[in-house]
């Protein structure tokens, strides 16, 4: 049978005073150390003895000593109280400066393009913070899974989250390898995709995402079919490069392979614009110094990147 119990309210009251008197063998010196009156210490000890149900000190006009019960209480209370003080200090350190473990849940494809340059410079700037990147496509509960923050495309972030921009808005790109299209004409309109093998993305909620397009100011969806389904974009890109079919993926993930000629960019006039990638966390009142430092580092990195781009344009 499971034992159920709680620490009684006020059970720790007077313990610090007790340890001070035991250490100094003096109520007055304990009071001076605690910054209170001798009377306050005496009252705290009397209340503690009443709760314990036994005298803890032998008091005379000349000295103060521990009773046998007091010695037993002291032997257990002193290390326990010191551990509480240490625990308090350990927790306080996390609240006063950037330190500890910063856990982030991040889609696999975002890590090399968006996060790696930021994390590398952050680790150099804040050596007392350890950054843990958990690469996953799942939209996990940050608090339940002990994450400080997450990274996702803006359209997948819950509206009650606080967000910090990591990238500018970007389009979704439909891509295919030249070999896949070697013996057929590339589609010129999304309505033609029913005749093509399309590589599909399964969302974290289990549904298969339709492909999204825009025509002027109007957005529309197309239900596609094909031989391959994956739950992350890098896997879809690899399958497209291998010639398995067409894929719709975030354009920054495909840009390198398009420039290298491994992928062709299709249906560009119909590419929808996404909000971009964001860091998100539960709220301003729950931000520890380690996360606050990371957010400020992201903003400083963005300012430096814009300044560098502007400098290049001026030259």
Distance CA 180, CA 262 (A): 11
Q: Which CATH topology does 15-96 take?
A: Arc Repressor Mutant, subunit A (1.10.10)
**pLDDT at residue 14 tops 90:** no
Distance CA 114, CA 51 (A): 59
Q: In what order do the strands lie in the sheet with 162-165?
A: 129-135, 100-106, 149-153, 277-281, 162-165
Residues facing residue 212 across a β-bridge: 221
If we measure between CA atoms, which residue out of 56, 72, 74 comes closest to residue 64? 56
pLDDT in tens, 119-129: 999 999 999 99
Residues facing residue 102 across a β-bridge: 131
DSSP 112: I
Question: Residues 171, 273: contact at Cβ < 8 Å?
Answer: yes
Per-residue pLDDT, 189: 96
Per-residue pLDDT, 285: 67
Question: Residues 20, 32: contact at Cβ < 8 Å?
Answer: no
- Could you give the count of Cα atoms lying within 13 Å of 15 in the half-sphere of its Cβ? 17
pLDDT in tens, 27-68: 999 999 889 999 999 999 999 999 888 999 988 777 888 999
- Band (pLDDT 50/70/90 cuts) for residue 284 is low
Average confidence (pLDDT) over 209-226: 93
Distance CA 97, CA 94 (A): 6
What is the residue-wise DSSP string for 193-236? GGGS-EEEEB-TTSPBPPEEEEETTEEEEE----SEEESSHHHH
Question: Residues 74, 17: contact at Cβ < 8 Å?
Answer: no
Residues facing residue 141 across a β-bridge: none
Per-residue pLDDT, 95: 62
Q: Which residue has the tokens 């290298």?
A: 260
Per-residue pLDDT, 312: 53
Per-residue pLDDT, 264: 97
For the chain, give the mean pLDDT: 87
No. of H helices and E strands in the chain? 9, 15
Picking from 11-20, 206-215, 289-298, which range would have the lowest pLDDT averaged per residue? 11-20
Q: What architecture does CATH give domain 100-167+277-314?
A: 3-Layer(aba) Sandwich (3.40)
CA 303 to chain CA centroid, nearest Å? 23
Question: Residues 284, 161: contact at Cβ < 8 Å?
Answer: no
Picking from 141-150, 185-194, 228-237, which range would have the lowest pLDDT averaged per residue? 141-150
Residues of the chain with CATH 1.10.10.10: 15-96
Distance CA 101, CA 61 (A): 54
Distance CA 298, CA 50 (A): 56
Per-residue pLDDT, 226: 95
- Band (pLDDT 50/70/90 cuts) for residue 241 is very high
Residues of the chain with CATH 3.40.190.10: 100-167+277-314
**Residue with the larger pLDDT of the pair 138 and 95:** 138
State what percent of residues in the chain have pLDDT above 70.
90
pTM: 0.70
Residues of the chain with CATH 3.40.190.290: 170-274
Q: What architecture does CATH give domain 170-274?
A: 3-Layer(aba) Sandwich (3.40)
């Amino acid at each position: 049978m499971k034992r159920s119990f709680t620490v009684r309210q006020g059970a720790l009251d007077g313990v610090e005073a007790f340890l001070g008197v035991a250490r100094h063998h003096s109520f007055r010196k304990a009071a001076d150390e605690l910054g209170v009156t001798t009377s306050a210490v005496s009252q705290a000890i009397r209340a503690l003895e009443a709760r314990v149900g036994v005298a803890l000190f032998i008091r005379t006009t000349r000295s103060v000593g521990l009773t046998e019960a007091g010695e037993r209480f002291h032997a257990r209370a002193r290390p326990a109280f010191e551990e509480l003080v240490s625990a308090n200090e350990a927790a306080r350190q996390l609240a006063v400066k950037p330190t500890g473990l910063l856990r982030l849940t991040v889609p696999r494809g975002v890590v090399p393009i968006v996060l790696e340059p930021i994390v590398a410079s952050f680790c150099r700037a804040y050596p007392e913070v350890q950054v843990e990147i958990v690469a996953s496509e799942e939209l996990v509960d940050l608090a339940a899974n002990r994450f400080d923050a997450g990274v996702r495309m803006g359209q997948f972030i819950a509206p009650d989250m606080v967000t910090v921009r990591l990238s500018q808005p970007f389009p979704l790109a439909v891509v295919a390898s030249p070999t896949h299209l070697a013996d057929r004409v590339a589609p010129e309109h999304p309505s033609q995709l029913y005749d093509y093998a399309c590589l599909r993305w399964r969302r974290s909620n289990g549904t298969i995402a339709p492909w999204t397009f825009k025509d002027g100011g109007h957005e529309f969806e197309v239900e596609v079919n094909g031989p391959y389904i994956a739950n992350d974009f890098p896997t879809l890109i690899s399958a497209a490069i291998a010639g398995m079919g067409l894929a719709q993926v975030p354009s920054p993930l495909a840009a390198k392979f398009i420039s290298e000629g491994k992928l062709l960019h299709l249906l560009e006039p119909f590419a929808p614009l996404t909000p971009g990638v964001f860091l998100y966390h539960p709220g301003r009142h729950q931000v520890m110094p380690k996360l606050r430092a990371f957010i400020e580092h992201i903003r400083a990195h963005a300012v430096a990147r814009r300044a560098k781009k502007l400098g290049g344009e001026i030259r």
